[in-house]
């Protein structure tokens, strides 16, 4: 999915790099998300606001997939896997889980994240993960959309 963006995207990930990330996280990204990130890696969208539950939320930027996050001291912090290492224990309620079942894909203005939630269905739902309320192995999330395509349709300028 191509969207209007404010900044130039980062180097676009290959299918092979996305496959490596999926294997590492033990998830399969929806095809719509794979297409999106291959066209908009780390994008700051112009269509960056969505309304949910009588609140408006602002997307600061979509997270990225970098081949070498350490070589980019600014954008490396927004790599999906780097973000997971920072907040991973607060994203899951299963301390024995290998891989991830809630994967952050976008940073919100408030410090919260938009995530793909793989816990209930093979096609992940889209949720907001609330950082201030979440604790280790006790994430606080709320479903926003049934799938990534529905979420993309919610975005406005």
Q: Is the model's pLDDT at 5 over the cut of 90?
A: no
Mean pLDDT of the chain, nearest integer: 91
Helices marked H in the chain: 15-25, 31-40, 80-87, 148-154
45 vs 37, which has greater pLDDT?
37
- 36: phi then psi, degrees, rounded to nearest 5: -60, -50
Q: What is the pTM of this model?
A: 0.92
pLDDT in the model for residue 30: 97
Q: And the tokens for 51?
A: 């309304």
Q: Is the model's pLDDT at 7 over the cut of 70?
A: no
**Residue with tokens 């604790």, as numbered in its chain:** 135
**Residue with tokens 């920072």, as numbered in its chain:** 86
Q: Determine the average pLDDT of the residues in 38-52.
A: 91
Please give the Cα distance from 133 to 29 (Å, whole number): 26
pLDDT in the model for residue 45: 87
Q: Which of 117, 107, 4, 116 is nearest to 57 (CA)?
A: 107
Please give the Cα distance from 19 to 153 (Å, whole number): 26
pLDDT in the model for residue 3: 64
pLDDT in the model for residue 151: 96
pLDDT in the model for residue 38: 94
């Amino acid at each position: 999915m191509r969207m209007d963006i404010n900044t130039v995207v980062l180097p676009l990930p290959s299918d092979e790099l996305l496959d490596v990330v999926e294997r590492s996280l033990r998830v399969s990204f929806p095809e719509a998300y794979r297409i999106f990130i291959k066209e908009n890696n780390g994008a700051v969208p112009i269509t960056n606001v969505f309304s949910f539950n009588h609140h408006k939320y602002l997307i600061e930027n979509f997270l990225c997939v970098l081949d070498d996050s350490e070589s980019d001291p600014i954008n490396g912090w927004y790599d999906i896997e780097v973000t997971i290492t920072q907040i991973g224990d607060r994203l899951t309620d299963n301390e024995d889980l290998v891989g991830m079942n809630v994967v952050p894909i976008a940073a919100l203005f408030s410090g919260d994240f938009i995530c793909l939630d793989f816990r209930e269905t093979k096609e992940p739902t889209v949720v907001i993960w609330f950082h201030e309320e979440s604790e280790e192995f006790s994430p606080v999330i709320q479903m926003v959309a049934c799938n990534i395509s529905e979420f993309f349709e919610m975005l406005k300028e």
